[in-house]
Structure 1
Amino acid sequence: MTLEGQMVLLGCGEELFAVPVTRVQEILDLCPISRLPHAPPHLLGLIDVRGESIAVGDLRRLLGQTPAADSPATRIIVLSVVKGDSRAVIALKTDRVIEVAELDPGSLGPVQGKGVFNWDDRLVVGIGRRNGRFVTVLDLEHMFRDISTSAKVRAA
């Protein structure tokens, strides 16, 4: 995944996260989500996007944060995730979408000290800054590396 160029900045609680704008298909207002029986807590269910069933994950739960009540700012971001020679279309519910922007010049780099702490950094590509605030750039491929073949998968 490339770390250069414009990013979509997302907010979960007080934290800022980013995904490359090239992976974003659209941003939706919160809509009804059809729950799935026996789904793990981070899989909220399915939404209909122009006739297609798209799985929706809870970004807060995927990141190990406490669930929060929805607000008028809650959004669903529809993403394209690469899996081998195919791509999967998935969605994430996030507290808010802040803006499309580039990170501060020269601010993007790896997480420092990750080998010192017992921390699983698979979901993080790097850390940057936007207007001086830390922004965690998410690794979508690792976040969704276990997408099953039953998920909606299309040719690249």
Structure 2
Amino acid sequence: MSEATQYLTLGLTDEVLALPVQQVREILEALPVARLPHAPKHLLGMLDLRGQSVPVIDLRLWLGMEATNDADSTRIIVVDTRTDAGGALFGLKADRVFEVTALDSPDLEAAPEIGGKWRREALAGIGRRNGTFVVVLDLVRLLDAERAAMLAAETSPAVVAA
């Protein structure tokens, strides 16, 4: 019998999302971060994690949702997306964390082609847990899209004022 993929389920507003548990390094209570000048809004700043600098991303803003104030349930999920092709260690600020669990089926459904508030490159697919839809995030693909956008912004010609 093969072991089912385990996911960390988390919440943003009323949405239930999931990350493959093998990418999760640890879960922290909300901590202060050092702001970075001129950083994108979703990059909250840097966190000192036992001597290692870890960028912290507001998952709400990264996915195109509205920002919110921290609550007692706010968590920073430290994830490791390092692969042979690269990757990074970073923190994701989420409204709450639920549990580590398997989904009802090991097969994910494709994300719908119709519009929506989600950044399509962020989705690995849609699963279900106890009859509730769970959006499974693809952090590696989302980081790759983020890097490509930053590179495009850096290499685009500067606008010269007349």
Q: CA RMSD in A?
A: 2.0
Secondary structure of the 1:122 match is: helix
Matched, 1:142 2:148: no
Aligned length: 143
Unpaired runs of 5+ residues, structure 2, are 151-162
CA contact (8 A) 1:54 1:91 kept: yes
Secondary structure of the 1:86 match is: coil
Q: What do the CA deviations read for 1:72-104 (whole angstroms, capped 9, x no partner)?
A: 000000001136533311110000011100111
CA contact (8 A) 2:64 2:119 kept: no
Q: What do the CA deviations read for 1:3-45 (whole angstroms, capped 9, x no partner)?
A: x510000100000110000000000011111100111100000
- Give 2:129's aligned residue: 130
Q: Distance in 2 between matches of 1:87 and 1:143?
A: 11
Pick the structure with more helix per residue.
2
Q: TM-score, normalised by structure 2?
A: 0.81
Q: Distance in 2 between matches of 1:41 and 1:132?
A: 34
Cα deviation for residue 108 of structure 1 reads 2.3
Unpaired runs of 5+ residues, structure 1, are 149-156
Matched, 1:46 2:46: yes
- Residues 11-50 of structure 1: matches in 2 within 5 Å? 11-50=11-50
Amino acid at match of 2:62: L
Higher Rg of the two aligned structures? 2
Q: Percent identity?
A: 44
- Give 2:75's aligned residue: 75
Amino acid at match of 1:139: D
Secondary structure of the 1:60 match is: helix
- Give 1:97's aligned residue: 97
Secondary structure of the 2:73 match is: coil
Q: Distance in 1 between matches of 2:106 and 2:140?
A: 24
CA contact (8 A) 1:107 1:129 kept: no
Amino acid at match of 1:47: L
